[in-house]
Each structure stands twice: as structure tokens, then as C-alpha cells.
């Protein structure tokens, strides 16, 4: 009996070219929209993942400290509610610093399923989990969590499923998209399963803006790196020095907006330039001062998020905040 046949080099090249073409068309479409935008998942190449980890340690960036404080106090209670032999599924696992706060409290977990788009970081963390917990089945999934259609199931007998979504990443989705995402996860998990999720809270706009405009410029470097990533991925010719980072609070929509502002009139090619200087469908023209939206980060009141969760098919088991009331963690149950 023969094993599965690996695709030929020619087939792998065709797949890579197809993916590149799909990404190029997506970028062309979003940059041609109103407002111009780039999908925030393109932040996370290896350098983007490294810069984000640096952001989480900045003095101005309170969410990581606040969520870590909450999880340190509530993880044991979460483990009691979920019960033994749980399958833990984590969306956007990153470096996994918060993962251990929950995973270490679970009683004899059956499997850990980290889901992340940053392949190198995911593979490295999955290997660390296997070394630290050799009896645990680790099933990493490299994908955009918003596009995940199926979750792997452990080979050994499992108890309840606990989905974990830290970092207030749900805030990167507008409230309607957040409801859609939460509802899709609920259908995937099934009735009676659990979802532990971090949610940033509305607070003083000055503190919010400082968190996304740090004095060292790390967030600016993270924002601009999306252009370098696309240059590498697509062969485009964004000039990062031709844009500057900006983050502002939009009170009407209760969100931080991250922008890249064009510093001059410029033309960016997403592919081969047209002959004789004629415009191409792959060329995007920017005027001085024009904005690319790279991220929205919505902030919620406690009751506002409970409403979103309820409309997505969950009941709230418990909710916790840090001592300053900056951040919240919600344990939801699929109803």
C-alpha cells in the first residue's frame, strides 16, 4: 500500500501562483474601495508577529497586562465549569503567553488546537506545547480564523470543548461581522460547549489613542510592515517611507482606527507595470493625504457585548474585569 502522493514541484508552483493572484485581486479590490483599506490579516508575517509581541510589552499598551491579570484570577473557575478531558481550541494563538494561564488549569485536557495565520510562530509554539505536555495531542491549524470551516478532533476521548479567543481580537471585526463569526463558531462547537473571549472596554479616548500611538513607534512600524509584507508576497512596490502611521478614536462608532496616510501623490503597482506608462488595473493612484484603513478596533460596554453574544447564540456564564475596569473576559456557553 502506498502513502499519499505529495504534489509535484510544478503543482506546488501552480498553487502558489493561484494564491498570489487571489491575494493580489483582494488587495486591488480593497484599495479601490471607499474607504481604501487593507485586510488586517496581512499584518502577520514573521516580522509583523514579532512586532506585535513587542507591542504587547509596551507601557502604553494596557490590554495584555489587563487580560493577563483577569485570566490569572479566573482560569481555575473556567476549568471547573468546563470539566476534565477538554479539547481547547485557540483562535489567534500568537506566542501563547496567555494560553498557559488557561491550559495549565484544565484537568487532563485531551487536545490543544491552536489556529493562527502566522505559520512560523504557530509551528514554533505548537512544538513548545508538545515538549512541555508530551501526553497532549496538539493539532495546529494554519489559517485565517474567520475563514475556518472545520475543527480537528482528537483521536482520544474528549470532554467538552473550550474555544479561547484572547487579546480582544474580536474587536477587529465590526459588530455585525463579530456576531456572524461568533455564530459560526457556535455552530461548529455545538450546544453546551464553551467560548472564553477577551473584550476591550470603552474608556478615556486619550488612553485609547496612546495605546495605538506609542512613544517608541513600535505600533507605527507594525502598521507600516503590512506594506513590506505585501511587497514580499506580491512583488508590489509600496514605498513605506511614502506613508505615515496614524491611529484615532472614532467616538461615533466606538472604535480605534489605524490608518496609513499617503505623504505625497504616488502610484503603487501591485504587479507588472503597464508599458509606455499607461495606467494599469494593477496600479493604485494615491493623492497626498489619502488614507488606507488597516485596522478597526471596536471597544464595548459589558452589556453591549453580552447583547452581541446573546444574538450570536450564547448565554453568559461569567464575566470578569481587571481592577481598573479597562478590559473584560467573558465565559460563554452555546445555547
Per-residue pLDDT of the chain (335 residues; tens, 9 = 90+): 333 334 444 434 333 445 788 899 999 999 999 999 999 989 989 899 899 999 999 999 999 999 999 999 999 999 999 999 999 999 987 777 899 999 999 999 999 999 988 788 889 999 999 999 999 999 998 888 877 777 888 888 889 999 999 999 999 999 999 999 999 999 989 999 999 999 999 999 999 999 999 999 999 999 999 999 999 999 999 999 999 999 999 999 999 999 999 999 999 999 765 555 544 568 999 999 999 999 999 999 999 999 999 999 999 999 999 999 999 999 999 99
Burial of 50 (0-12, 13-18, 19+ CB in 10 A): middle
pLDDT value at residue 273: 58
Tell me whether residue 274 is in a domain: yes
Q: How many CB atoms lie within 10 A of CB 310?
A: 14
Total count of domains within the chain:
2
Q: Is residue 192 part of a domain?
A: yes
For residues 176 and 286, membership in a common domain is answered with no
- Based on the fold, state whether residues 198 and 259 are members of the same structural domain: no
**pLDDT at residue 10, as a whole number:** 45
Specify the CATH number for the domain of residue 317. Answer: 3.40.50.150
Asked if residue 162 and residue 126 are part of one domain, the reply reads: yes
Q: Can you give the pLDDT at residue 6?
A: 43
pLDDT at position 20 is: 83
159 is a domain residue: yes
State the pairing for strand pair 291-298/314-321: unpaired
3-state secondary structure of 34: coil
| Pair (323, 239) in one structural domain | no
Q: How far apart, in whole angstroms, are the C-alpha atoms of residue 187 and residue 57? A: 35
Q: Which pLDDT score is estimated for 16?
A: 40
- Please choose, from the candidates 33, 18, 44, the residue with its C-alpha nearest in 3D space to the C-alpha of residue 284: 33
Q: Do the Cβ atoms of 333 and 192 come closer than 8 Å?
A: yes
Q: pTM of this prediction?
A: 0.87
Residues 176 and 192 in one domain: yes
Distance CA 326, CA 335 (A): 28
- Domain containing 197 equals 63-203+300-334
| 286 found inside a domain | yes
Which DSSP helix (H) or strand (E) runs through 175?
helix 175-189
- DSSP code string of 47-97: HHHHHHHHHTTSSS--HHHHHHHHHHHHHHHHHHHH-SSPEEEEES-TT-T
- Domain assignment present for residue 5? The answer is no
Instruction: Specify whether 164 is located in the same domain as 226.
Output: no
Claim to verify: residue 190 and residue 253 sit in the same structural domain: no
pLDDT number for residue 250 = 98
Residue 174 CA, chain-centre distance (Å), reads: 13
- Same domain? For 85 and 228 the reply is no
One domain for residues 221 and 101? no
Answer yes or no: is 15 within a domain.
no
Both 96 and 199 in a single domain? yes
CA distance 133 to 147: 29
In a domain, 68, yes or no: yes
Same domain, 107 and 231: no
Q: Which of 324, 54, 312, 322 is nearest to 163 (CA)?
A: 312
Residue 2 is predicted with a pLDDT of 35
Residues 71 and 182 in one domain: yes
CA torsion through residues 43, 44, 50, 53, sign: positive
- φ/ψ of 151, rounded to 5, equals -105, 135
Q: Is residue 145 part of a domain?
A: yes
Is residue 121 classed exposed, middle or buried when 0-12, 13-18 and 19+ CB atoms within 10 A define those classes?
A: buried
Amino acid at each position: 500500500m502506498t502513502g499519499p502522493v505529495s504534489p509535484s514541484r510544478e503543482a506546488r508552483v501552480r498553487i502558489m501562483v493561484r494564491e498570489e493572484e487571489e491575494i493580489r485581486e483582494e488587495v486591488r479590490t480593497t484599495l479601490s474601495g471607499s474607504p481604501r483599506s487593507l485586510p488586517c490579516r496581512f499584518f502577520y508575517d514573521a516580522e509583523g508577529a514579532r512586532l506585535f509581541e513587542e507591542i504587547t510589552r509596551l507601557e502604553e499598551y494596557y490590554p495584555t497586562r489587563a487580560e493577563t491579570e483577569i485570566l490569572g484570577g479566573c482560569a481555575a473557575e473556567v476549568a471547573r465549569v468546563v470539566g476534565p478531558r477538554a479539547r481547547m481550541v485557540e483562535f489567534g494563538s500568537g506566542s501563547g503567553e496567555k494560553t498557559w494561564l488557561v491550559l495549565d488549569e484544565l484537568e487532563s485536557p485531551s487536545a490543544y488546537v491552536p489556529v493562527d495565520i502566522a505559520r512560523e510562530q504557530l509551528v514554533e509554539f505548537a512544538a513548545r506545547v508538545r515538549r512541555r505536555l508530551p501526553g497532549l495531542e496538539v493539532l495546529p491549524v494554519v489559517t485565517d480564523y474567520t475563514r475556518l470551516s472545520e475543527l480537528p478532533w482528537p483521536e482520544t476521548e474528549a470532554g467538552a470543548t473550550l474555544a479561547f479567543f484572547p487579546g480582544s481580537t474580536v474587536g477587529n471585526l465590526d459588530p455585525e461581522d463579530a456576531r456572524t463569526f461568533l455564530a459560526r463558531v457556535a455552530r461548529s462547537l455545538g450546544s453546551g460547549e464553551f467560548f472564553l473571549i477577551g473584550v476591550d472596554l470603552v474608556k478615556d479616548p486619550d488612553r485609547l489613542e496612546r495605546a495605538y500611538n506609542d512613544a517608541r513607534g513600535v505600533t507605527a512600524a507594525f502598521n507600516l510592515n503590512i506594506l513590506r509584507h505585501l511587497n514580499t508576497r506580491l512583488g508590489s512596490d509600496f514605498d513605506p517611507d511614502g506613508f505615515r502611521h496614524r491611529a484615532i478614536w472614532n467616538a461615533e462608532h466606538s472604535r480605534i482606527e489605524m490608518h496609513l496616510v499617503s505623504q505625497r501623490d504616488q502610484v503603487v503597482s501591485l504587479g507588472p507595470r503597464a508599458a509606455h506608462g499607461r495606467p494599469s488595473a494593477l496600479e493604485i493612484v494615491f493623492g497626498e493625504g489619502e488614507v488606507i484603513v488597516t485596522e478597526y478596533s471596536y471597544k464595548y460596554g459589558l452589556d453591549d457585548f453580552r447583547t452581541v453574544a446573546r444574538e450570536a447564540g450564547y448565554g453568559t456564564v461569567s464575566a470578569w474585569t481587571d481592577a481598573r475596569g479597562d478590559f473584560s473576559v467573558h465565559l460563554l456557553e452555546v445555547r
